[in-house]
A and B are shown apart, each in its own frame.
Chain A
Amino acid sequence: MSWELLIKWLPQFLDGAWLTLQLVGVSVITGLILALPLGIARSSRHLAVRALPYGYIFFFRGTPLLVQLFLVYYGLAQFDVVRKSALWPYLRDPYWCAIITMTMHTAAYIAEILRGAIQAVPPGEIEAARALGMSRSQALLHIILPRAARIGLPAYSNEVILMLKASALASTITLLELTGMARKIAARTYMHEEMFLIAGVIYLVIAFVLMQGFKLLERWLRVDALHGR
């Protein structure tokens, strides 16, 4: 493959990469916000509080993202009620369908990470907080959550990388993100190997930058030290 071809198609690849970054960025951040109440409720001792987030997480972890994407994009559009609702301008758009699905999908995983992290906070520390006179919610806010955030961070960074790769599925609902763009260009040029190689390299670069970013964040939060290592 010649350099001219690479230069010719690179702007389109970068457009695709930008869309990929938007999908992943919005979904993992919104997903984290959604996951906070979900994860806290999921780790509750009360069955009634636990049941709903459990059901949500069970559904989204138990079905493939591709199926969820198709259900939201093609499935909802079958119903007249949905097509006449105020939400249709958003649900009509593949971009929002992808964002909504990916957010709900990743929120389930992040909630599960958070539950594990909350349950891994040493009970001694919680008892100490309570003994100091902190209320339950004070202990949650000042002790349990900051501690759980550090415990869960490596797993969260893993989830972000997984979502980066899962975002390729958005190409099945007409979005021209990195994979969609590579498929489109490959279909025109019949240079499948080259085009997917370029896309693969761009994914690697993005993943590398993300990993380095999380490494810095872990260092800044002193994740290692707090694990007692």
Chain B
Amino acid sequence: MKSLPKFLFAAALTLACGSSFAAEKLRIGTEGAYPPFNLIDASGKVVGFDLDIAHALCAKMQTECEVVTSDWDGIIPALNAKKFDFIIASMSITEERQQAVDFTEPYYTNKLQFVAPKSVDFKTDEASLKGKSIGAQRATIAGTWLEDNLGDTVDIKLYDTQENAYLDLASGRVDAILADTFVQWEWLKSETGKDFEFKGDPVFDNDKIGIAVRKGDDELRNNLNKALEEIIADGTYKQINDKYFPFSIR
């Protein structure tokens, strides 16, 4: 009976998994370092626009949800490793990501815009950008856009978190930061961001943000889409939008 402990272990595992499936608790994956969309507040709770939307969707789907945080550049592998069931973390829908995951309908639209010190005359045309050093968060649309469009023109610095990129903008290591307009807008309002401003027009304005689910998880994707339609229709979405931005971000 050498295999008895193994058998018992397997049985216990099956029971444990079985019971957690029975509860049908959905796990929300997010990053927690991307204010105002997802951030960890003073009490250690993950909050923000993304989370408010996620909780509203869960309420509509009548399921219990719990939040799991993950590093940004490992968030898709974590979804596929079933650490959570969907990602709501201001993730842009891109062709590259669609190879790895499926997306719901977009829940907001993002733009990319440069931020630089007020005291500097910073032009965003390609000739003026030559030789400048530009910061962006690793594995973001901003990072990819820089590589695709200005890869040979500027010196791109990639950061683990958006906060670290801002630290380097404040210390003058980079000339400007390229990131999502809303995120930049939030930072510009903060104490450290007061000496900085938007430079030029948005360089990219068709960045659709969606919720990612595992490939082929159509049931969850359809449920999320339906719930999203419902919260837009009944005004819940607008309520959440107004809590964070004085303008519509859909």
Interface pair A77/B171, CB less than 8 Å apart? yes
A80's closest neighbor in chain B, by CB? Answer: B171
Task: Please tell me which one of the listed residues A83, A94, A187 contacts residue B139 in the complex, with CB atoms under 8 A apart.
Answer: A187
- Cβ A192 vs Cβ B74 within 8 A: yes
List which A79-119 residues lie within 8 A (CB) of chain B: 83, 92, 94
Contact of A188 among B144, B157, B159, B173 (CB under 8 A): B144
How many chain B residues sit at the interface, stated as a range, is: 20 to 34
Selected from B73, B99, B158, B164, the residue in CB contact (under 8 A) with A186 is B73
Interface membership of A203, Cβ < 8 A: no
- Name the interface residues of A153-204: CB closer than 8 Å to any CB of B: 172, 174, 176, 180, 183-184, 186-190, 192-193
Q: Does B77 contact A (CB under 8 A)?
A: yes
Query: B-facing mask of A37-53, CB < 8 A → 1, else 0?
Result: 00000000000000000
Chain B residue, CB-CB nearest to A171: B160
Alpha-carbon distance A78/B147, docked complex (angstroms): 28
Decide if A188 touches B171 in the complex (CB within 8 Å).
no
Please judge, given known A-B contacts A83-B172, A184-B138, whether A192 and B77 are in contact too, CB under 8 Å. Answer: yes
A174 neighbours in B (Cβ, 8 Å): 135, 157-159, 168
B32 interfacial by beta-carbon distance below 8 Å: no
Interface size class of A (residues with CB under 8 A): 10 to 19
Cα-based distance from A188 to B97 in the complex (angstroms): 9
Bound CA–CA A77/B164 (angstroms): 12
Within 8 A of A (CB), among B142-171: 143-144, 147, 157-160, 164, 167-168, 170-171
B167 touches A190 (CB 8 A): no
Shortest 9 CB-CB contacts between residues of A and residues of B: A187-B139, A77-B171, A190-B100, A174-B157, A192-B77, A74-B167, A187-B73, A92-B173, A172-B160
Can you list 7 residue pairs at the A/B interface with Cβ under 8 Å? A74-B167, A77-B173, A174-B135, A186-B73, A187-B143, A188-B147, A192-B74
Q: Given contacts A183-B73, A190-B97, A192-B76, could you give 10 more A-B pairs where the C-beta distance is less than 8 Å? A: A74-B167, A74-B171, A78-B171, A92-B173, A172-B160, A174-B158, A183-B138, A187-B143, A190-B99, A192-B77
- Which residues of A approach B to under 8 Å, CB–CB? 74, 77-78, 83, 92, 94, 172, 174, 176, 180, 183-184, 186-190, 192-193
